[in-house]
Amino acid sequence: MVQQIIFILVCLLSFQLAVRQYRRLYRNIHLGKPEEISGNAGTRWKNVLLVAFGQKKMFKNWLPAILHFFIYSAFVITQIELIEIFVDGFLGLHRFFAEPLGGFYTFVISFIEVLSVLAFVATIIFLARRNLLRLPRFRKPEMTAWPTLDANLILFGEIALITGIFCMNGADTVLQGIDPQHYVATGHFAVSGSLGPLVFGGISEDWLMLIERFGWWLHILVVLAFINYLPISKHLHVIFAFPNVYYARLSPRGEMQNMPDVQKEVRSMLGFDEGEEMPMDEEIPEFGAKDVFDLSWKTLLDAYTCTECGRCTAECPANLTGKKLSPRKVMMDIRDRMDEVSKKLKSGSAEYISSDKNDGKTSLSASNFDDGKSLFDYITKEEIHACTACNACVEACPVLINPLEPIMEMRRYEILTLSEGPADWVPMFTSLENTGAVWQMGVERDAWAQSTDSVQ
């Protein structure tokens, strides 16, 4: 009874903390601008099944893909055993599903154990790849300190989870032979059925009970800790990958979004929309993105979904040639800026209320927030200038993140709003404005067409 009460209290406290964390993420994502997501729902669900569930894009590199699949499948299937732990914990029972399911129960738990062994092997290999082999994409400047620790913490957490499973099942197997009245017969599990008697055989009943309870509590506590840890970890992608893939743009990757204000002005200049010129006294809008508020909510969801795997950076031609640009760092910086803004908004401090954004409110809100910083304090202009817009990073991402989108939005802000940009680009802009071509020419771009008309 005492254990049951402790279990319920621990679960309720953990879920309460988790709800607060995920509400914060929801609010942060909605700091971004609205964006209408359209397209065929069938295609979107197909992407979810193939890319998010099936990890289709991971299999471009077979070895890490298979190892990752071991961990991923073990994580998903183990939730079946987790359900039983919750039922047992809340009702004060032991192996609630064992008797009703019979042989099928033995099969399911055996399958979980086999996957857990494979996941354990994959976890050890991943730890070695990060810490012993030190793969280049895990040693980039943005991967020092917390990102490296974060990755290792989750891998060690996976080992703890697997340890809990085998302590619980192994000791329980031995106890079934000692006290069959209290420990329901589960059949011979694939791994612990032999490993349990081998490791725990000959141990006293009291110690076996302690080991079984240790494994049971270790398993559930690691899971509850994991749920609360995810919001501050790159492993949030195990949840956010699914909505992110569903809402991914279905348009061709090379297609860039037009800016409505610029499009309208150009159409007016060309005579397509006569009488719709922007009034002279109307304030000129800001183009592109200066801060997280100017990015789409989908881009902010991308940032929280980033797995920090570095496949985008490993494929980026700018990064490969020694330039500072790292698409992974761009997404990580957006996420860090979101978290910074979120903390300052939560503080409610009047020092972050902008004098230029007079919205009639005396309290701090997203609409009047200004801390004197922006995304340009995280992402340098040198980085966004290095991008070739080749879409290699977009193609490489296993969960359909688009790092090119915020890069292009920041470029637009720099060039169109600040009227700045690399000196090498100025002649191109001047030529484009004067002749309609990016190359400097002595004649108009359409001069050849005019000469053809005169001949006719």
Q: What CATH number corresponds to the domain at position 303?
A: 1.10.1060.10
My answer on whether 199 and 288 are in the same domain is no
Count Cα atoms within 13 angstroms, Cβ side, for 86. 11
Least confident of 171-180, 244-253, 283-292: 283-292
Calculate the CA 114 to chain-centre distance: 28
Query: Do 290 and 412 fall into the same domain?
Result: yes
Residue 69 lies in a domain: yes
Residue 110 and residue 169 in one domain: yes
Which sign, positive or negative, has the C-alpha torsion 149, 150, 153, 154?
negative
Closest alpha carbon to 69 in 109, 110, 121, 106? 121
Residues 110 and 146 in one domain: yes
Distance CA 25, CA 339 (A): 9
Q: Could you give phi then psi for residue 353, rounded to 5 degrees?
A: -85, 125
Confidence of residue 189 (pLDDT cuts 50, 70, 90): very high
Q: Are residues 201 and 268 in the same domain?
A: no
**Residue 449 covered by a domain:** no
Res 264: pLDDT: 74
Contact 311, 398 (CB under 8 A): yes
Cβ-contact 112, 74 below 8 angstroms: yes
Please give the average per-residue pLDDT across 430-449, as a whole number. 73
- For 360-385, the DSSP string reads S-SS--GGGB--S--GGGTS-HHHHH
Residues 77 and 172 in one domain: yes
Give per-residue pLDDT as tens, 299-324.
999 999 999 999 999 999 999 999 99
Q: Where are the alpha helices (DSSP H) in 258-326?
A: 260-269, 297-305, 311-315, 317-320
Domain of residue 324: give its range: 260-275+284-355+363-435
Are both 222 and 269 inside the same structural domain? no
Residue 1 has pLDDT above 70, yes or no: yes
Residues 149 and 105 in one domain: yes
| 182 and 138, same domain (yes or no) | yes
Q: In this predicted structure, what is the pLDDT of residue 23?
A: 95
Is 135 part of a structural domain of the chain?
yes
**Diameter over CA atoms, the chain:** 105
In a domain, 75, yes or no: yes
Domain presence at residue 402 = yes
**172 and 297 fall within a common domain:** no
Does residue 388 lie in a domain region?
Answer: yes
Residues 164 and 67 in one domain: yes
Cβ count near 101 (within 10 Å)? 16
Same domain, yes or no: 68 and 177:
yes
Report, as an integer, the average pLDDT of 356-364: 71
Number of domains in the chain: 2
Please give the model's pTM, rounded to 2 decimal places.
0.87
Q: Is 410 contained in some domain? A: yes
Report how far residue 277's alpha carbon sits from residue 299's, in angstroms, rounded to the nearest whole number: 31
Residue 151 domain flag: yes
